[in-house]
Structure formats: structure tokens, C-alpha cells
Amino acid sequence: MGPVAAWRDAVDLRSPAWPLLLLKRVEKGVDGLQKVIEAWKAKDVEAVLAHMSDDIVWHFAAAALPPVCGKAEARKLLTRFQADMHEIRWRIFASAETGDRLFVEGVDEYRNAAGTWIAAPYAGVLDFIGDRISGWRDYVDTSVIAAQREGVEPSAQVKALIQRPEAT
Amino acid sequence: MTDRRSVLTAGAALATASPTAAAPRGRRARLYPVLEAIMQAWMRQDIEGVLAHVPEDIIWRNSSGYAPAVVGKEAMRAVLTRMAGMIARDDWRNFDYAESAHRLFVEGVDEFWLTTGQHVAVPYAGVFEFRDLQICEWREYFDGRISADMKAGAPMTDEVHALISRPAIAARR
């Protein structure tokens, strides 16, 4: 999807408030997340943390695992992830925003320390205070990740979910 | 390892971080009312009422990739009919949503009680693609283990409880 198509996809031109919606989109939300993604691809933990509030509540596997609470815990988790995630191909397929909340759909794809490629389709919800993420909930199926860690080829349905054009 | 107290604190933080999550924000929803109509139909087990909002070529990805998609209205009817026979009461609700031109995103919980007595609550995020105000592709993201464990009788975890104890979007009457 090109930038014009992405722009048209994100902003409902039938809304009388579309110029404001566009401005909001430019200012924060998915653009902030893209900065986080770039920082994470560069394995720059501190740059990722710079986009989080001090009291962030991060459900990295919403409902399946306990969240990490606060920047210190987030730093520990990111450091642990850093050791296991390589050649990161985290990408976003679509997004929409409302108020201070961003919804995204994407895939977390990487090669783990054992050399196995992992592709986890997910949908995320991020709450912002100013330009910092204060709440982050990623909904993902942990059994999909576990199967791939054990060497099972990603299923046809996983492939269908992740073989989509990246939002630009 | 995160202990129980920090989980509960996280739940409280989650609730207080978004005190207006369920409050109307003056948004003019265009797509969400279609999902609301589907939810209301489903909660009275009106399967045809659900199917009225999807085209013949609906693709329903009702897992995060662990199960094949349900393709076509007839296949969806069969799945819904099987599900309806297992569910005694349903309290499917959403906490918030956002729309783009033809796509609706929601965060919510599918909470229900089976006819065999088990209580199941699956926090989820959903993405709905629209064509002519019908949902042509429906994708749900959640952890299937939560659903499987609770259907087998496992109690609700603190993590699930924290996520679903948020104010829901009030249903239109």
C-alpha cells in the first residue's frame, strides 16, 4: 500500500473532521509506534523505553501472561527479548486511532536464538499519554509461537494472516 | 516472575489509565453499529440475524492462526449453529473501538457460560473488513489456551479478570 492509499485508509473523508483526524494521525499514534519498531529493529532498548511512560502496563501476551508494570520491568523484558530475537521483521498491516488509543494489526516475525523463524500474527491496542505509551496490550496466540519454537512450520492460516502488504 | 499483587496493581492501573474507555466520545460511528447488531443477534441466538450482516464469501478467521478460517456463509452458519447449541448465556462485550474507511478495530471479551456449566471469558482484539456495510472478513486475535482451559473447567486467571473488568461500551437500545 502506498502512502496515499494508507492515508485514505486511515482517514474517513466523509467525516467533517477529517483534516483534524489527519493532523492527529501525523502527530502521534502509529507514527510513534513506527519509531518504536525502528528502535527495536536496531535493538536499542533505551530508545524503545523512551517511548514508554514510567508507569507503563505492558501486556505483551494479553490475558495469557502477566503484564510487566513500569519501565524497570519493561527494560528487563526487552533485554530478555533482545537475546532471543534476531533479524526482526516486526511489521504493521493496518491501524486506526481514536482519542489517545491506537489499534494495530501486524506480525511479530524474527529468528530466535536457536535459529528458528517465528511469526506471530497479532492485534495490539496502545494507550498514549502525550506521545508516550502508557498501556500496551498485544493479543496473540501463544500456542502458535510455541509450535513454531518446536520446529512446526507456520500453518496456512498463519501464512495467510502475515502475507499482507505492510502499512506505510 | 510477576506476583499476584503486581498483577492486581496492573489491573487497577489499566482501569484508571482509561477512565473514559466506555464513555461516548461524540464519535459518529459508521461501522461499529453493524457489529453491535451482530452482537445483539448473537446474544439472542439469532443466527440468521448474525448472517444478515455478512456476504456469501465471508472469511471468518476466528483464531489467531491456530485453526483454519471459516470460509463462506454456509460454513459460518454451521459453526454458529454448533456454538449456539453449546452456549447457555453470552455476555460478549467491547471496551473500545476505532474505525478507518472500511475497517473496524475492537477490543473486548467474549464471555459466556456453557450449557455444561463452565464459565469462559476470552479477552480479544478483533479486526473487521467491510464491503458495502457488510463484514467480508473477520479476524479475531486471542490466546486459544485460555478458551480451552476454561472450557475444561479452569478458573479465571488474575490476568483475564484484570482485562475484562473494564467498563464496556453501552449497547444501543
Across the interface, which of A13, A73, A123 has its CB nearest the CB of B125? A123
Asked if B143 and A141 come within 8 Å (Cβ–Cβ), the reply is yes
**H or E element that contains A46:** helix A45-49
Question: What are residue A91's DSSP bridge partners?
Answer: A107
Q: How many residues does chain A have?
A: 168
Contact across the interface for A105 and B30, Cβ inside 8 Å: no
Whether B102 has its CB under 8 Å from any CB of chain A: the answer is yes
Site of grid cell 517511548: A51
Closest chain A C-alpha to B24 CA, distance in angstroms: 11
Asked if residue B13 has pLDDT above 90, the reply is no
Average pLDDT over residues B5-19: 40
Which chain A residues contact residue B14 at CB under 8 A?
57, 135
A20 touches chain B (CB under 8 A): no
List pLDDT tens digits, range A110-140. Answer: 999 999 999 999 999 999 999 999 999 999 9
Residue written as grid cell 474507511:
B101
- Would you say the C-alpha torsion B133, B88, B71, B105 has a positive or negative sign? positive
Q: Which of A101, A108, A148, A163 to mutate to test the interface with B (most CBs of B within 10 A)?
A: A101
- Amino acid in the structure at residue A20: L
Q: Is A87 left (phi over 0), alpha (psi -120 to 50) or beta?
A: left
CA distance A83 to chain B (A): 18
Residues of A in contact with B158 (CB under 8 A): 66
Higher pLDDT, B11 or B97: B97
User: Among A109, A112, A145, A162, which Cα is nearest to B66's?
Assistant: A145
pLDDT class of B170 with cuts at 50, 70, 90: confident
Which of chain A's residues have a Cβ under 8 Å away from the Cβ of B102? 9
User: What is this model's ipTM?
Assistant: 0.85
Q: What is d(CA B79, CA B153) in angstroms, rounded to the nearest whole number?
A: 22
The pLDDT > 70 percentage for chain B reads 83
Above 80 in pLDDT, residue A18? no
The pLDDT score that the predictor gives to residue B33 is 96
| Burial state string for A91-115 with b = 16 or more CB within 10 A and e = fewer than 16 | bbbbbbbbbbbbbbbbbbbbebeee
Cell numbers found for residue B137: 472478513
Cell of A121: 500474527
Q: Could you give the 3-state DSSP secondary structure of residue B162?
A: helix
Which residues of B are less than 8 Å from A80 in CB distance? none
Query: Which spans in B18-105 are helix H?
Result: 32-43, 47-51, 73-86
Identify the closest residue of chain A to B11 by CA–CA distance. Answer: A57
Are A96 and B68 within 8 A, CB to CB?
Answer: no
User: Does the predicted TM-score (pTM) go above 0.90?
Assistant: no
Would an 8 Å CB–CB cutoff place B124 in contact with chain A? yes
Cβ–Cβ below 8 Å for A124 and B97: no
CA dist., res. B114 & res. A47, Å (int): 46
